[in-house]
Amino acid sequence: MKTTLEYRIGHHSKGNAVVHLVWIPKRRKKVLSGEIAKCLGQIIYELAKEKDWDILSLEVAPDHVHLFVEHQPDVAINQVVKAFKGRSSCLLRRKFPELLKLPSLWTNSYFYSTAGQVSADVIKRYIEEPHHG
């Protein structure tokens, strides 16, 4: 997990694209615990590594996910969300058949908030506070 924000340098750009994401399971079911939560975290970290995205903070609560991630500026936020939710839904439902009771693992909705250097620390502290769960 990366602890500080650094600018990404592209062919014609320099900057950082950082977003705080929150999404929930269908019907806000509290299914993200134990081995499922652990596996979800692994999936998120592996996908981020594959895509060259940096996870700044991650919290998996029983009924929601908080993710603070830095991605390339040419990648739209909805593509980031689609990648995490799509991959995790497919792999988790394959590994944990009890999740097949839900019509889909995730709702179609998600929350996002972009962040700059100043607010990044505030968001990271919020996600890491033990009040979730």
Instruction: Return the active site residues.
Output: 126
Element (H, E) at 12: none
CA trace torsion 66, 68, 71, 74 (10° rounding):
70
| Backbone phi and psi for residue 61, each to the nearest 5 degrees, phi listed first | -100, 165
Distances (CA, A) of 3 to 52, 66, 69, 117: 15, 16, 11, 12
Q: Give the start-end residues of each E strand in 16-110.
A: 17-23, 54-61, 64-71
User: Residues near 110 by Cβ (< 8 Å), separated by ≥ 6?
Assistant: 21, 22, 23, 81, 85
